[in-house]
Amino acid sequence: MTSKYQWNNIFLTLIAIVLFIFPFVADSRTWTILLTQIFIFSILAMSYDILLGYTGIVSFGHAMFFGMGAYTTAVMLDRMEPTIGVFVLSIATGMLLAGAVSFIVGLMTLRLKSHFFAMLTLAVSGLFLVLAEKWRTLTSGNDGFTFRAPEFFKDRMVFYLVTLVCLVVVYLLLRRFVQSPMGHVLVAVRENEQRTKSLGFKTLHYKVIASVVAGVVASLAGSLYAVSLRFVNTSVLTMDITLDALLMTIIGGVGTLIGPIIGAGVIELSQHYLSGLAKEYPIFERWIIFFGIVYILAVIFFPSGIVGTVRQALHKRKKPAVLEKSSSGTEGL
Amino acid sequence: MELLLNLMINGLATGMLIFLLAAGLTLIFGLMDVLNFAHGGLFAWGAYSSVWFYALTDSFVVAILGAIVTGIILGFITEKLIITPVYGNHIQQILITLGFMLVLTELLKVVFGPNQIPAKTPPYLAGSWEIGDVIIIKYRVFIIVVGFLIFGIFQYILKKTKIGLIVRAGVMNKEMVQTLGINIKNVFLYVFIAGAALAALGGALMAPYSGVIYAEMGMEFAILGFIVVVIGGMGSFPGSLLAAILVGLAGSFMAYYVPSLSLAVNMMLMAVVLIFRPQGLFKAKG
Amino acid sequence: MNTMLKVDGVHTHIGQYHILQGISFEAKEGEVSVLLGRNGAGKTTTLKTILGLTPASKGIVTFKGQDITKKPTHGIANTGIGYVPEDQGIFGALTVEENMKVAMRKEDEVTLAKQDYVLNLFPDLKKFWKKDGGHLSGGQKQMLAMARAFVGNSQLLLIDEPSKGLAPIVIEKVMEAIMDMKKHTTIVLVEQNFMMASRIGDTYTLLDDGKTVQSGLMQELIQDEQVKRKYLGIG
């Protein structure tokens, strides 16, 4: 077990090193931007998986935390001054805001059964979207606004490295989180909330903690996203963002941290490739439909996603499949 | 007076459209504990197919029937391919129905193009009546009449027929119904198809009402449908009618007096109901 | 007498719990077979497994010589098994009449005759024919549940703890009814109340920890103080 775990670590470290060296070796603007995008969405998808994969909660409102981060950073950089200091401060503010909102919303709604919770998160994030559209003095509504990013990020490569560092740090922190006793309780909640409750755990508290962690991390992803575009509009709060996180998590592999990262890579890359094809074949303008179909098939046939399925194939034994009712622990890979 | 009346008719008409969507949602949920996040997709498909059939045949009746048939076919496919494979697992169910919603919406854009499509009102339903100095738009009244008619028919089926009896019993205790020798899966398939047909009918009636149709209308109306289902009480058919009218009227009055808040009010209403009275305002009673 | 139901080495898992770990017994036509045992011994699960509500993971259930282990619940019910659950499973918002109707596959003479029979057995039901099932008293609900199971196509009735929560005088009525119904059907009864079980049972099967301990004639068990003390906590 230990050797396998170490092997995993070596492997991941190698990949991280390659990614760090990459921009120095390959001078490709397209790839730098694409990979930056992948890192940002990896962070978002990992945060989503804390809810879906580790705690077994389906939220349809994750975009609101992403959007909170994006707007906080955009507004602060725009209204104050485009410096690193303000950037860091805006990230902290966004996280604080997202943490507070997810705490309050979670406390009120996580008691509800899965259907109701999914529906309510859909509505609450809809409210935030409406708010952003109406509060034009702050957000400029659907038109959005451009703003200046800190001078330091002018070089795409620097921003690439910053997002990569963020990704690695978030990954390591979340891994500690899911491997901590707290993380094990979350998995227990996912497997059987009633039983966990009867063992004396206040499951609502744990679910709220999971939702705060997920909200805070999503807000970080939103902040980085806004800076990467130097523009923000209400699209950061739409269902599409939640759907992206959902697709990446499901296709990559729920209940793991590496799964969402792979999912983000697969989806961003194929999106890039497919929209390239769209110039020749208009059908590919609707590339999302392919993901929709793959996603449905994944939910039915490969509920443990790419990572889970590969692992099962490698280990030749039944491994936890979060979406299945089977139960056993989950490694925090 | 005229304004008040028109706002009411408007609200009632919208309410009826939402009711057609919510009726299926609530029955499907009550019977099988399945919340179909793809239901709005069936609504949008109803709208598109009615416009398509109308353009093809120039008959509004054929357009409506075409939409209903589309709903039946899609309902059958959805139940067999999407709902049944993951039956009993709530998380998978929520995820897969949302995914199917995405596919249905995108498929509309593939088939009919991504742009808005105008929808005509048939000549005999277009225009308005003038009673004194009050102007009443015919088509809205038509929607209200159809809505009540559908409610009456379904209420009759639920109350007076054997299958309706079984559905009501199933909503209360589906395990017991099975032990009485009834194949609940078949019952569920029928209910699902009926719900899909109602949603498609709602979409078909919606098209001339709003004048244009677009793929995202499905999700927009589905959210209203969810709100209605929650307020009306999951599984309650009459509850969904009352709640739909309430939401329709609230929307119509708010849109006139405080337009910026109209959607927000309904969502907040749903949030409050879910948090403080999750069984709905009207108790589910068959 | 013919064997109506045969449960042979049945195991049942619910989630990761191994609830039944080898249950075997037979119910003969026209007899009342009683399942006895402490709380949690697996009596209710045995009934649910026969009905396919919690399907067996191992072992065979045969009814009238036909293997019904793998059938779906409604199919099992339609081979002729009626079920009266512990909580009675009354459809609260349906009237007594409607509760009966759900159970009637067809409304032919045979079924209507059966209905007349149970309504004579339980005159209260006739009195509250149009009343909602949810508004009946506990005893009336028990009667309705038994009547409803009987009008269905039921050659075998599975009755789970009919005396639970009822006043002694009502228990007496229910007992008399079961003894009367026995003339027309075979009954498998789960009962904690040993006084009741010993009076109406022909045979017994003793369960403990999800396993069959022993089966035999009720008359023999009544004499066996040692077994009664050990497994039922009485005597």
Q: How many residues would you count in chain A?
A: 333
* C71 touching chain B per CB within 8 A: no
Distance (Å, whole) CA C36 – CA C214: 10
* pLDDT in the model for residue A326: 37
* B219 touching chain A per CB within 8 A: yes
- Structure tokens of B201? 């009918």
Q: Which residues of B are less than 8 Å from C148 in CB distance?
A: 180
Task: pLDDT band for A3, please (50, 70, 90 cuts).
Answer: low
| Beta strand segments in chain A, E | 145-146, 231-232
Helix (H) or strand (E) holding C176: helix C168-181
Q: Residues C66-86: what's their mean pLDDT?
A: 93
* Average pLDDT score over chain B: 89
Q: Are A45 and A249 in contact (CB under 8 A)?
A: yes
Residue C172: count other Cβ atoms within 10 Å of its Cβ: 13
Distance (Å, whole) CA A259 – CA A253: 4
Measured between CA atoms, how close is A1 to chain B, in angstroms?
Answer: 31
Distance (Å, whole) CA B258 – CA B251: 10
Measured between CA atoms, how close is C42 to chain A, in angstroms?
Answer: 20
| C45 burial via Cβ count (<10 Å: 0-12, 13-18, 19+) | buried
Distance (Å, whole) CA B28 – CA B167: 10
Contact criterion met (CB < 8 Å) for C85 and B165: no
Distance (Å, whole) CA B54 – CA B125: 14
Measured between CA atoms, how close is B170 to chain C, in angstroms?
Answer: 9
pLDDT digits (tens, 9 = 90+) for B201-250: 999 999 999 999 999 889 888 888 988 888 888 788 899 999 999 889 98
Distance (Å, whole) CA A145 – CA B156: 56
Distance (Å, whole) CA C140 – CA A232: 66
Q: Which residues of C are less than 8 Å from B181 in CB distance?
A: 74, 77-78, 103, 105, 152-153
Q: Are A322 and A56 in contact (CB under 8 A)?
A: yes
Residue A82: count other Cβ atoms within 10 Å of its Cβ: 18
Residue A274 has pLDDT above 60, yes or no: yes
Find the residue in C nearest to A327 (Cα).
Answer: C16
Residue A327 has pLDDT above 50, yes or no: no
* B84 touching chain A per CB within 8 A: no
Contact criterion met (CB < 8 Å) for C102 and B165: yes
* B178 touching chain C per CB within 8 A: yes
* pLDDT in the model for residue B104: 94
Q: Residues A303-312: what's their mean pLDDT?
A: 82
* pLDDT in the model for residue B256: 84
**CATH assignment, A25-327:** 1.10.3470
Residue A196 has pLDDT above 60, yes or no: yes
* pLDDT in the model for residue B263: 67
Residue B142 has pLDDT above 90, yes or no: yes
Q: Which residues of C are less than 8 Å from B184 in CB distance?
A: 74
* pLDDT in the model for residue A307: 84
SS3 category, C18: strand
Distance (Å, whole) CA B190 – CA B196: 10
Q: ∠ CA(A114), CA(A119), CA(A124), 5° rounding?
A: 120
Task: pLDDT band for B195, please (50, 70, 90 cuts).
Answer: very high
Residue B66 has pLDDT above 90, yes or no: yes
Per the DSSP assignment, residues forming a β-bridge with A126 are none
Q: Which residues of A are less than 8 Å from C16 in CB distance?
A: 327
Which one of B32, B81, B86, B102 makes the best mutation probe of the A interface by having the most chain A beta carbons within 10 Å? B102
pLDDT digits (tens, 9 = 90+) for A59-89: 999 999 999 999 999 999 999 888 889 999 9
Residue B286 has pLDDT above 50, yes or no: no
Find the residue in C nearest to B169 (Cα).
Answer: C91
Distance (Å, whole) CA B144 – CA B148: 6
* pLDDT in the model for residue A134: 82
User: What residues of chain C, 75 to 104, have a C-beta less than 8 Å from chain B?
Assistant: 75, 77-78, 82-83, 85, 89, 91-94, 98-99, 101-103
Least CB–CB distance from A299: residue in B35, B92, B271: B92
pLDDT digits (tens, 9 = 90+) for A157-185: 889 999 999 999 999 999 999 999 988 88
Which one of C51, C73, C104, C135 makes the best mutation probe of the B interface by having the most chain B beta carbons within 10 Å? C73
Contact criterion met (CB < 8 Å) for C94 and B175: no
Which one of B91, B101, B230 makes the best mutation probe of the A interface by having the most chain A beta carbons within 10 Å? B91
Residue A325 has pLDDT above 50, yes or no: no
CA nearest to A239, candidates A122, A318, A150: A122
Please count the residue pairs, one from chain A and one from chain B, whose beta carbons lie less than 8 angstroms apart: 107
Helix (H) or strand (E) holding A45: helix A29-49
DSSP letters for chain B: -HHHHHHHHHHHHHHHHHHHHHHHHHHHHHHH----TTHHHHHHHHHHHHHHHHHHH--HHHHHHHHHHHHHHHHHHIIIIIIGGGTT-HHHHHHHHHHHHHHHHHHHHHHH-SS-EE-PPPGGG-SEEEETTEEEEHHHHHHHHHHHHHHHHHHHHHHHSHHHHHHHHHHH-HHHHHHTT--HHHHHHHHHHHHHHHHHHHHHHHHHHHSEE-TTHHHHHHHHHHHHHHHH-TT-HHHHHHHHHHHHHHHHHHHHHSGGGHHHHHHHHHHHHHHH-TT-SS----
Residue B284 lies in a domain: no
- Structure tokens of C235? 């005597």
Find the residue in C nearest to A325 (Cα).
Answer: C15
Look-up: residue for tokens 């349809």?
A60
Distance (Å, whole) CA C15 – CA A258: 29
Measured between CA atoms, how close is C229 to chain B, in angstroms?
Answer: 35
Measured between CA atoms, how close is B254 to chain A, in angstroms?
Answer: 15
* pLDDT in the model for residue A302: 83
Least CB–CB distance from B180: residue in C92, C93, C152: C152
Residue B194 has pLDDT above 90, yes or no: yes
Residue B10 lies in a domain: yes
Q: How many residues would you count in chain B?
A: 286
Please count the residue pairs, one from chain B and one from chain C, whose beta carbons lie less than 8 angstroms apart: 64
Distance (Å, whole) CA C155 – CA B181: 13
Distance (Å, whole) CA A96 – CA A91: 9
Residue B281 lies in a domain: no
Number of domains in chain B: 1
Chains that touch A (3 or more CB pairs under 8 A): B, C
Task: pLDDT band for B259, please (50, 70, 90 cuts).
Answer: confident
pTM as predicted: 0.85
* pLDDT in the model for residue A317: 52
Per the DSSP assignment, residues forming a β-bridge with C33 are C188, C203
Residue B237 lies in a domain: yes
CA nearest to C12, candidates C38, C36, C47, C62: C47
Q: Residues A248-274: what's their mean pLDDT?
A: 90
* Average pLDDT score over chain C: 91
Measured between CA atoms, how close is A327 to chain C, in angstroms?
Answer: 8
Measured between CA atoms, how close is C112 to chain A, in angstroms?
Answer: 43
Per the DSSP assignment, residues forming a β-bridge with A231 are A146
Q: Kindly report the three-state secondary structure assignment for every residue of B145-172.
A: HHHHHHHHHHHHHHHHCHHHHHHHHHHH
Contact criterion met (CB < 8 Å) for A60 and B98: yes
| CATH number of the domain within which B203 lies | 1.10.3470
**Which residue range forms the structural domain that includes residue B39?**
2-276
Contact criterion met (CB < 8 Å) for A112 and B271: no
Distance (Å, whole) CA B160 – CA A321: 45
Residue B147 has pLDDT above 70, yes or no: yes
Q: How many Cα atoms occupy the beta-carbon half-sphere of C208 within 13 Å?
A: 10
Q: Which of A32-46, A275-289, B260-274 has the highest mean pLDDT?
A: A32-46
Q: Residues A290-318: what's their mean pLDDT?
A: 80
Distance (Å, whole) CA B276 – CA B255: 26
B273-277, C145-149, C223-227: least confidently modelled range: B273-277
Contact criterion met (CB < 8 Å) for B103 and A293: yes
Q: How many Cα atoms occupy the beta-carbon half-sphere of A3 within 13 Å?
A: 0
Measured between CA atoms, how close is C74 to chain B, in angstroms?
Answer: 4
Residue B275: count other Cβ atoms within 10 Å of its Cβ: 14
Find the residue in C nearest to A191 (Cα).
Answer: C15
Distance (Å, whole) CA C8 – CA B225: 50
Instruction: Report which DSSP code applies to A320.
Output: -
Distance (Å, whole) CA A254 – CA A304: 6
Helix (H) or strand (E) holding A171: helix A156-179
Task: pLDDT band for B282, please (50, 70, 90 cuts).
Answer: low
* B117 touching chain A per CB within 8 A: no
Q: Which residues of B are less than 8 Å from C77 in CB distance?
A: 178-181
Contact criterion met (CB < 8 Å) for B275 and A323: no
Residue B145 has pLDDT above 50, yes or no: yes
Task: pLDDT band for A101, please (50, 70, 90 cuts).
Answer: very high
Which one of A130, A139, A299 makes the best mutation probe of the B interface by having the most chain B beta carbons within 10 Å? A299
SS3 category, C15: coil
CA nearest to A89, candidates A98, A101, A77: A77
Distance (Å, whole) CA B188 – CA B24: 11
Residue A313 has pLDDT above 70, yes or no: yes
Q: How many Cα atoms occupy the beta-carbon half-sphere of A245 within 13 Å?
A: 34
pLDDT digits (tens, 9 = 90+) for A108-167: 888 888 888 888 888 888 888 888 888 888 888 888 898 888 888 888 888 999 999 999
Look-up: residue for tokens 């929650």?
B230
- Structure tokens of B138? 């015919």
CA nearest to B230, candidates A120, A105, A59: A120
* C2 touching chain A per CB within 8 A: no
Task: pLDDT band for C1, please (50, 70, 90 cuts).
Answer: low
Residue B83 lies in a domain: yes
Residue A322 has pLDDT above 60, yes or no: no
Least CB–CB distance from B165: residue in C78, C101, C153: C101
| A268 burial via Cβ count (<10 Å: 0-12, 13-18, 19+) | buried
* C16 touching chain A per CB within 8 A: yes
- Structure tokens of B268? 């907040």
* B95 touching chain A per CB within 8 A: yes
CA A74 to chain centroid: 19
Task: pLDDT band for C83, please (50, 70, 90 cuts).
Answer: very high
* B181 touching chain C per CB within 8 A: yes
Measured between CA atoms, how close is B181 to chain C, in angstroms?
Answer: 4
Find the residue in C nearest to B162 (Cα).
Answer: C102
DSSP letters for A214-238: HHHHHHHHHHHHHHHHTEE-GGGGS
Residue B286 lies in a domain: no
Question: Where are the domains positioned within chain A?
Answer: 25-327
* pLDDT in the model for residue B285: 42
Residue A321 has pLDDT above 70, yes or no: no
Please count the residue pairs, one from chain A and one from chain C, whose beta carbons lie less than 8 angstroms apart: 4
Residue B67 lies in a domain: yes
Q: Are B236 and B280 in contact (CB under 8 A)?
A: yes
Residue B283 lies in a domain: no
Task: pLDDT band for A316, please (50, 70, 90 cuts).
Answer: low
Least CB–CB distance from B230: residue in A119, A124, A126: A119
User: What residues of chain C, 184 to 213, have a C-beta less than 8 Å from chain A?
Assistant: none
Q: Residues C136-162: what's their mean pLDDT?
A: 92
Contact criterion met (CB < 8 Å) for B35 and A119: yes
- Structure tokens of B284? 């589910």
CA B138 to chain centroid: 21
Q: Are B35 and A119 in contact (CB under 8 A)?
A: yes
CA nearest to B39, candidates B158, B200, B170: B200
pLDDT digits (tens, 9 = 90+) for C165-179: 899 999 999 999 999
| B112 burial via Cβ count (<10 Å: 0-12, 13-18, 19+) | middle
Task: pLDDT band for A303, please (50, 70, 90 cuts).
Answer: confident
Distance (Å, whole) CA B41 – CA B221: 9
ipTM of the complex: 0.90
Least CB–CB distance from B96: residue in A114, A118, A300: A300
Helix (H) or strand (E) holding C103: helix C96-103
Q: Which residues of C are less than 8 Å from B173 in CB distance?
A: 89, 91
* B110 touching chain A per CB within 8 A: yes
Task: pLDDT band for B187, please (50, 70, 90 cuts).
Answer: very high
